[in-house]
Structure 1
Amino acid sequence: MPLPIFQFEEYMTMKAKQVNRALDEAVPLQLPVKVHEAMRYSLLAGGKQLVEGDESSAMPIACALEMIHTMSLIHDDLPCMDNDDLRRGKPTNHIVFGEDTAILAGDALLTLAFEHVAAKTFNVSPDLVLQAIAELGSAVGSKGLVAGQIVDIDSEGKNVSLAELEYIHVHKTAKLLEASVVCGAIMGGGNMIDIERVRNYARCIGLLFQVVDDILDVTKSSTELGKTAGKDLVSDKATYPKLMGIDNAKKLATELVAQAIEELAYFDDARAAPLYHLANYIASRQN
């Protein structure tokens, strides 16, 4: 099925600027300076944004998701977690500000995310705002991102099945992407069928993101990735190429793109065009 004609690069650039502008306003440099400087260092570093809201009513949830996403990256890079010193081509937060400040900056971003949605969302039914907040909490908590992270840590150096690896990445990676798309559907007043279809779509592209990430980790350099390459191999972590081989991992990526696009067939092509192109963008990314 040919993709709808859509200027995806221009769309992404425009939306990224809008979200970054809103994030800059949401987290000004203020007292205490050190923690706000650390928050802004990672939050405004660029890279892959999860939500591209183009309505003022959706912007607070877009900012909240980016705050949560950034928190997860700050904490994921800590020595007690993945112990990384490079993120988006820059030294990781704890390298610049110290572990104590990095932890607190992540905590501050996480709590600010929920405050921001509650305090700054206008022209949306309170019931829908509550539904979106619940979706956010579920995605990042002990049944979402935290679940994936703890199982990932416990699995290092162990023999992990494909089913266990999928559990890790459905929770660690796909849940936050799922929340991004689902919260957009909620804020837009989507019905239950709309929400479940975009949820399934997001789960596919969330897994796709990780499969591609695993492939890039063993095929690209640190300079090309903007983060440390080959770390999964060094730490003996389970990855899709390790369990399936690179060729089968690439085949899985192709299947996940097809599944994601199939979920979008229910929607109007023009309105779903950004999501069509997002799936292909994730599949073809090089960093």
Structure 2
Amino acid sequence: MTSKKYSKKIQNIFLDDPYKILSFMRWGVTTPANLRYELGIESKQDLNHYLKKYVKEGILQKLSKGMYVMTESGKIIYDHYEHYKNKQLVRVENLKVTFVVEKGGEELVKNLKSKKQELKNNVTMYHAKLKRHSTRLIVSKNQYKFEVTVTNALGITPNEAFHYAMLEAYGVANHLTDSFDIELSEGYANGKPEIAIPSPFASASLLINGASQIRTDKAIMNRSKGRGADWEVYNLQDAQKVVDMPDTMARIEEKIDRIEKNSVYSSPFYSNLAGNSQLGFF
């Protein structure tokens, strides 16, 4: 299959996958019921529509007993798509989202499969891996907090990537409330997530300095495996500044051009030239 066909498949199939079905299907066999549960799809009819569509296009294969699996060609296309997407999109990494356990903290301590860690000041942590993300239950003075560290999430803009990261955290929290008789508060982000924005300025700086990473107090320019050059910052405000940088630089360049032009036209030398018809410039 040629790269042109890959790009067409990517555009028509993978970008039109509202429930991330294919991302979930890449790594194993599953059923529609499992997909609905894991991806939070309410409409059985909508899910069946997409499953039939992907089977028809050769991306999925329907097995016996209602099982579905991704075809080998589908996996190849998906991997190409992921490689392309990972380089082009903004990535949020290591976002910590905390939920206060309002009910059922003791049940979580008893039943959650976790690794116990005792700290100073009577603080105990219970570490667990849920839905591919690291979590920890923090217990201190009869207060229970559940923290999810979202490994990474992608989006077209920093705000979108951050939004998807929060959705990932809520997905873990919902999984917990479905599994145990507990109640959680609304989640809130804390800590310093890494927001990586693909940046030509970072690429140029790394190239000029012959470095794979340039670190400052507020940001990191980095070239990592599977991605191009990123400008990594720690909050959405700075992330938006990085995104806006090409437009900002263009406006600065236009302003400098106008200043230089006005400076030339207003100089005595230019006035003398303009008034000297013998030079033949005008």
TM range (shorter): under 0.3
Structure with bigger strand share is 2
Q: TM-score, normalised by structure 2?
A: 0.27
Larger relative contact order (Cα-Cα within 8 Å, sequence gap ≥ 6):
1
Structure with bigger helix share is 1
- Choose 1 or 2 for highest CA Rg: 2
Q: TM-score, normalised by structure 1?
A: 0.27
